[in-house]
Every structure is written in C-alpha cells, then in structure tokens.
Amino acid sequence: MADKVHDISAQAFSKDIFTTISEPHMQRVYSMYDKVSASIREHLNANHFQEHKAIILGPVTDPGIRGSKQVTVDYYGYEYKTMSSAILYKQLLSAASKKAGGSGKIYFFADNIRLEPIETAQTDRHLAEFIQVDIEVADTDHFGAMKVGEDLVASVCRSMKRYEPELKEIWAFFEPHSTARGLKKRTELKVPTSPFKKYTHREVIDLINEKIDSDPELKKHMERLFKFVPKPLSYNSEIPWEYEWLVSSLHDEPFFIYDYPKGSRGFYDREYKDKPGLLMDFDLIFPEGYGEAASGAAREYEINKIIARMKETGEKLEKYKWYLEFLQKNGTATAGFGIGLERTVRYICALPSIYLTLPCPKIPGLYSP
C-alpha cells in the first residue's frame, strides 16, 4: 500500500495480513489509536472517574442490541456469555461506588463481542469485536451524561490536535476512499464548540424527511452510495444507518439526538414519568458522515418498572437474578453511555471504514486472523 491507492476492501485486508499492517500508514493509524486511548483515560482520570478492569464473562450480557448474537461459552457446565456490552455491570459498579462514599463515576475500556447481522459488514461502522469506553455516573440523568460525553469528545479532539501533521498524512492517504463513501474531505481537526447541538429524535426524523422530500440530488446520491431508495421515516423507528449518515453529513460538529421512542432500545433506558413511550436516552453523532459515536441514557432502576420492561422485550427474568436482586435492594439513579473507541479513532483519522483502525479486525461474517 505504499504509493498509490490500494485495494482496501475488507476481503483484501486480511489476505496478506503482515504486509497490510506493516505498511507505514497503517502503523500511523495504530499509533493514533494508542493516543486516542491515552487521551480518553487522561481526561476521565482528571475528572475523578475510576477505571475498572473490563468484565468479559458473565451469566448474562446486554440483550438490547438489535439483531446481533451473543457468544456463549461453556463455563464449568454453565452457559456464560461474553459481553456484548457490560451495561448491567456499569450500573452495579457506579451504585457500589456511591454507596461506599465514592464519586459514583466509573468507566472501563470494555471488550465487546457482537456477532452482528451480515448486512452490517457494509456500514463501515460495525465490527464484531471492538472496544467501547463504558462510562457511568451516579445521581444524574441523561442530560448529565450528555455533558460528560460532550466534554470527553472535545477534550480528545483538543489532545489529538497536537498530532495534526501525522493525521494529515493519514487523511490524504485514505481520502479517495473516504470521499467515495460519502465522507467529507478533512482539512483540519476541529475542536468542537460546547454545548453541542441537541435534537430530539422527532426533530431529526422531521429533518431527514424534509431533506429527502426537498432534495432530489441528495436522494440520488444516497441511492448511489447505499443502493436503495430512501423513504420517509416514522416517528416510531430507530434511525437506520443510511439515514444517520445523512444527518451526520449535514453537520460539521458532533451533536446529540435524544428522547428516542420506547421499543427501539433496551429495557435499561429509563422512561420519562410524564412522557410515557419516550426514553431518557441519547446518541452522540460524529459529523461529516461518520455517524454514531456513543449511545447512552438515564437508567431504569426501579424494580417494578424494570420487570415490566424486561417482559416487553421478551426476557426471561431468571436469567437476570443477580441484577434484579441488586436493583431491588440497592438500585439508584445512574446515567451513562458507551463510546466506541474504534469509531472515535476512525473519525479522528478520517478513515473510510472502521476495520482500518485495528490490525486484526473482525468484520461481521468474514473469516480472518
């Protein structure tokens, strides 16, 4: 991959793994990965967050992930799961810290494994194995969590600004691929201005529908990029990733979408008391077409509500014994989010696809080292 634009398709990437990853531009990306990780830790530690070792195995993991399968391992005759996200443990650790008189602010660099549907291999945003920086804060709600996310992203951008000369080489190298995938050409790493823009889910749906309606060029562009004809969305649905690309590409700075309708998220996202059907949750979206960076919420912690919510998602209560017992006795208000480390690196490095952030990426459905 030395001087000209090479085949960086997922299939070609792992064919000769050593040649690919020993290429200087790839090594530069891995170095940025390291620096992004360090800047996240630096920021969180400076703000009195306590890091825990990530939990890998447990009798239960996050069930709230659309269509992706968990990995089951035989654990001394019990069926255990590898974490698809350690969300339930975050609540536990934050509540425990608070109870002990601590800050109630915790995080881990969580290794997540999700056997995502094959179709996600096309999104440039999904990996079957990735790291999510999982953050949880006691005594706050989703707005509090959004503030934490906003500060973190701004701080990371500020730190990474120092490496702009190296970044520029990476940007230039991948640019033809990035722009071909509908990503904006990068000329500088902007440090975003706080507070970030916030849209309700409903406002974003209106924005998307209006754009699709009024801009036939954009519609054609989406057809070329994603090989499907965009149609107006309903207020009840998640925002499919192609549409998320659309809103993302309309922005130059990160922003939030909040108040998603119930039904599109896991049972642990708290529902507004006065707005039934709406969840106190949010997504943090990177601009320029990169899409979702983080997903978070105020957590449901009242036992009667959580049981009803679990049944709405068809869960078997026995599976969550430890979690339900913990909430019953020690449930407390927490909020948090998980921010994708590889997604952040991809954004900073302006990479066409997420698998380029890792030396041995696991792309959904693809056999690779």
Partner 1 sequence: MLDSLLNIFGAKKTDYPVSEIMDRARRGRKAIYPFSNEKFRFSIYGASMFGDAKRFKTIDDVVIAPPQFTPHRLEKAIELISREPIHHDVDTSTTIGGFSTKFPLVQSSMGSQDDWNKVAIYSAKACAKLGLIYGIGENITATWGYKERNAANQPSFFERAINYLENVKDGLGGLVVQQNEEDAYDELWNKMYSDKRLDEYLQQGLIAFEIKGGQGAKAGMGGEKIVDRATAKRLKQKYTMFPDPDEIEAEYYERHSSPDIFTEEILERRIKKLHNDYPNAKVWFKTGPYRDLEKVIEIASRAGADNITVDGKEGGTGMSPGVALNDLGMPTLACIKAIRRAKEKKDAKTSIIVSGRLYNGAHIVKAMALGANGIAMGRPFLLSAYAYPFADHFIEHELYNNRVMRFISTDIIHPDERSVGFVRNFVDSVEIESKLLTAAVGKYKMRDLSTEDVEAHDPTIAESLNIKSVL
Q: What is the DSSP letter of 280?
A: S
Nearest CB to partner 1, comparing residues 102 and 240: 240
**Which residue spans within 25-97 are E strands per DSSP?**
50-51, 57-58, 72-75, 78-82
Please tell me the distance from the alpha carbon of residue 112 to that of residue 120, in angstroms, as a whole number: 16
Nearest CB to partner 1, comparing residues 108 and 268: 268
Please tell me the distance from the alpha carbon of residue 44 to that of residue 63, in angstroms, as a whole number: 27
Query: Of these, 238, 242, 253, 302, which contacts partner 1 (CB under 8 A)?
Result: 238
Token pair, residue 340, equals: 């994708």
Q: Site map for partner 1, 28-57, x if CB under 8 A?
A: ------------------------------
> According to CB under 8 A, which residues from 68 to 97 bind partner 1?
68-70, 72, 78-79
Contact 347, 118 (CB under 8 A): no
Q: Quick check: 115 binds partner 1 (CB under 8 A)?
A: yes
* Whole-number CA gyration radius for the chain: 20
Q: Quick check: 229 binds partner 1 (CB under 8 A)?
A: no
Nearest CB to partner 1, comparing residues 174 and 241: 241
Please tell me the distance from the alpha carbon of residue 247 to that of residue 266, in angstroms, as a whole number: 23
Of 116-124, 179-187, 282-290, 355-363, the window that binds partner 1 (rule: CB under 8 A) is 116-124
Neighbouring CB atoms inside 10 A of 82's CB total: 18
Q: Quick check: 264 binds partner 1 (CB under 8 A)?
A: yes
Of 24-32, 179-187, 306-314, 342-350, the window that binds partner 1 (rule: CB under 8 A) is 306-314
Query: Of these, 119, 169, 188, 223, which contacts partner 1 (CB under 8 A)?
Result: 119
Query: CB 302 → partner 1: shortest distance, Å?
Result: 16
Size of the site for partner 1 (CB under 8 A): 30
End-to-end CA distance of the chain: 19
Query: Among 265, 270, 289, 267, which Cα is nearest to 343's?
Result: 289
Query: Of these, 73, 118, 180, 360, which contacts partner 1 (CB under 8 A)?
Result: 118
Q: Quick check: 24 binds partner 1 (CB under 8 A)?
A: no
Where residue 113 falls (left for φ over 0; alpha for ψ -120 to 50; beta otherwise) is beta
Query: CB 273 → partner 1: shortest distance, Å?
Result: 15
Please tell me the distance from the alpha carbon of residue 198 to that of residue 169, in angstroms, as a whole number: 33
Of 2-10, 144-152, 216-224, 233-241, the window that binds partner 1 (rule: CB under 8 A) is 233-241
Query: CB 358 → partner 1: shortest distance, Å?
Result: 20
* Sole residue written with tokens 């900073």: 348
Q: What is the DSSP letter of 186?
A: P
Q: Quick check: 321 binds partner 1 (CB under 8 A)?
A: no
Query: Among 300, 296, 295, which Cα is nearest to 333's?
Result: 300
- The residues of the shown chain that bind partner 1, judged by CB under 8 A, are 66-70, 72, 78-79, 115-119, 236-238, 240, 262-264, 308, 311-316, 319, 364-365
